[in-house]
C-alpha cells in the first residue's frame, strides 16, 4: 500500500466540481443525521510570529462511502511581504477509516477553495430561483473563481457581474471567464440585483444593504471567517431567510456573528441549517421566500468529502505521486 501525494495542481485536476458538490451535499446530510463526527476547530496562537495554526478533524458516513481526515491550516498575514509565502496554507491528511492507513496527503488550500464553492452551490441549488441565469460576485479574489465554477454547475448562469475595488483583479476575472459567460464589472448594487449573489470579502463594516439586492436574490455570504467580520447589513439580514451551516460556528465567526452577539439577531431569525433542507426537514425556496442568505463558515466534513472525491479520482486516473510513508510495501 502506498500513500498518494497530491499537490495543488493534482487537487485542481481531480476535484471534479459536480462530484465535489454531490459529496458536500452528502456531508451536510450525514451531519444532520448524526452520522458525522466533527470536533471543534482547535487553535495554536503564535503571537510572536503574528500567526496561528488551526486543526480541523472529521469523520463522516454517507452510507455508500465513509471518509476521515484532518486539515492543518495556518494564517500568517506577514508571509507575503516578509517571506514571499501565502498568508494561508493548508495540508489535508486523508485516511482510511477502517484501518487508519494514510491514503493521501494533499494540498489543503486548493481543496478549501473547491469545497467552499461546492457548499455555495448546494445552498444555491436549494434556495435560488429555479431559472437563475445571473450571478453577482462581490470580491474578485481567488475564491470568486470557484464560486462561479460551482454555481454554474447547478444553475444556467449566463451573466456575471463582478464588483471589487481592485480593477486589476476584476480584469483578471473577466479575462478568465469572458469566453464562457457575459462577464462585466459593476457596482455592488448591480451585482446584488442578480438572481444569485456571492460575497467573498474580509470586511468588518458591512458593504451590502437591503437596497442593494433584488426581491428574490439568493446570497451566499462566504467572507466572514472570524469574529467581527460581516458583509451584509443588519436590515438585510433581518429581512432575509437565513440558512446557516452550523449554529456554533456561525454565531461565533460567521456572517451573523456580530448582530447575533449584539442581540440584533436571535435564534428566531435563523430559518435553519442547510442540512435540514438537504434531508427534507425544512423546505428550501418556496412561495414565501424573498431574499435568502446562506451563512457559510466552512465545516471539516466538507474538506473530508472533497478529499474523498480527489483521492478516488486521482487513484482511478493514476495521478499524483505514490510513496511509502509508513513503511508498508506491496506484497508484505
Q: How confident is residue 330, by pLDDT bands cut at 50, 70 and 90?
A: low
Place of cell 487508519: 100
Q: What is the pLDDT of residues 113-141, one digit of tens each?
A: 999 999 999 999 999 999 999 999 999 99
Residue 248: active-site member: no
Task: Convert the pLDDT of each residue in 198-228 to its tens digit.
Answer: 999 999 999 999 999 999 999 999 998 889 9
Q: Give mean pLDDT, residues 289-308.
A: 97
The proportion of the chain whose per-residue pLDDT surpasses 70, expressed as a percent, equals 99
pLDDT for 40 equals 87
Q: What is the pLDDT of residue 332?
A: 47
What's the rounded mean pLDDT across residues 192-201?
98
pLDDT digits (tens, 9 = 90+) for 93-110: 999 999 999 999 999 999
Inform me whether the pLDDT recorded for 29 exceeds 80: yes
Rounded-to-integer distance, Cα 54 and Cα 37, Å? 17
Cα–Cα–Cα angle for 161, 167, 170, nearest 5°?
Answer: 40
* pLDDT confidence tier of residue 10, bands split at 50, 70 and 90: very high
Set of cell numbers at residue 321: 505521486
- Average pLDDT along the chain: 96
- What pLDDT does residue 1 have? 87
Of the candidates 41, 71, 114, 229, the residue annotated as catalytic is 71
Phi and psi torsions of 81, nearest 5°: -75, -35
Long-range contact pairs involving 142-147 (C-beta distance under 8 Å, separation at least 24): 142/113, 143/113, 143/116, 143/117, 143/200, 143/222, 144/173, 144/198, 144/200, 145/113, 145/173, 145/176, 146/17, 146/113, 146/114, 146/116, 146/117, 146/118, 147/117, 147/120, 147/198, 147/200, 147/220, 147/222
C-alpha to C-alpha distance for 137 and 192, rounded to whole angstroms: 8
User: Closest by alpha carbon to 226, among 267, 257, 265?
Assistant: 257
Q: What is the mean pLDDT of residues 70-83?
A: 96
Indicate the pTM of the whole model: 0.95
pLDDT (tens digit per residue) in 240-251: 999 999 999 999
Write the pLDDT tens digit of every residue in 251-298: 999 999 999 999 999 999 999 999 999 999 999 999 999 999 999 999
Cβ 310 vs Cβ 14: under 8 Å: yes
Confidence of residue 7 (pLDDT cuts 50, 70, 90): very high
| 3-state per-residue secondary structure call for 147-198 | HHHHHCCCCCCCEEEEECCCHHHHHHHHHHHCCCCEEEECCHHHHHCCCEEE
Q: Is the pLDDT of residue 331 over 90?
A: no
Q: What is the mean pLDDT of residues 299-323?
A: 97
| Spatial contact of 27 and 60, defined as CB atoms under 8 Å apart | yes
Amino acid at each position: 500500500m502506498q500513500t498518494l501525494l497530491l499537490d495543488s495542481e493534482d487537487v485542481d485536476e481531480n476535484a471534479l466540481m459536480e462530484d465535489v458538490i454531490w459529496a458536500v451535499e452528502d456531508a451536510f446530510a450525514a451531519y444532520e443525521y448524526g452520522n458525522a463526527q466533527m470536533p471543534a476547530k482547535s487553535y495554536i496562537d503564535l503571537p510572536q510570529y503574528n500567526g496561528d495554526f488551526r486543526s480541523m478533524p472529521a469523520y463522516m458516513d454517507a452510507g455508500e462511502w465513509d471518509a476521515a481526515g484532518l486539515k492543518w491550516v495556518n494564517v500568517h498575514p506577514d508571509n507575503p511581504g516578509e517571506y514571499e509565502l501565502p498568508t494561508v496554507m493548508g495540508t489535508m491528511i486523508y485516511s482510511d477509516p477502517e484501518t487508519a492507513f494514510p491514503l493521501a496527503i494533499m494540498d489543503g488550500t486548493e481543496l478549501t477553495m473547491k469545497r467552499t464553492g461546492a457548499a455555495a452551490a448546494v445552498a444555491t441549488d436549494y434556495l435560488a430561483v429555479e431559472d437563475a441565469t445571473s450571478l453577482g460576485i462581490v470580491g474578485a479574489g481567488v475564491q470568486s473563481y470557484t464560486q462561479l465554477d460551482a454555481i454554474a454547475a447547478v444553475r444556467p448562469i449566463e451573466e456575471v457581474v463582478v464588483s471589487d475595488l481592485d480593477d486589476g483583479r476584476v480584469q483578471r476575472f473577466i479575462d478568465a471567464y469572458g469566453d464562457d459567460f457575459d462577464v462585466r464589472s459593476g457596482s455592488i448594487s448591480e451585482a446584488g440585483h442578480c438572481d444569485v449573489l456571492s460575497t467573498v470579502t474580509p470586511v468588518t463594516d458591512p458593504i451590502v444593504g437591503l437596497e442593494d439586492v433584488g426581491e428574490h436574490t439568493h446570497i451566499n455570504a462566504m467572507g466572514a471567517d472570524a469574529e467581527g467580520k460581516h458583509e451584509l447589513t443588519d436590515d438585510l439580514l433581518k429581512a432575509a431567510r437565513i440558512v446557516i451551516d452550523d449554529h456554533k460556528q456561525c454565531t461565533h465567526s460567521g456572517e451573523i456573528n456580530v448582530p447575533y452577539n449584539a442581540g440584533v439577531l436571535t435564534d428566531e431569525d435563523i430559518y435553519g441549517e442547510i442540512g435540514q433542507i438537504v434531508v427534507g426537514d425544512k423546505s428550501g425556496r418556496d412561495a414565501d421566500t424573498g431574499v435568502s442568505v446562506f451563512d457559510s463558515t466552512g465545516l471539516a466534513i466538507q474538506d473530508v468529502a472533497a478529499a474523498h472525491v480527489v483521492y478516488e479520482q486521482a487513484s482511478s486516473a493514476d495521478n499524483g505521486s505514490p510513496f511509502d510513508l509508513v513503511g508498508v510495501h506491496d506484497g508484505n
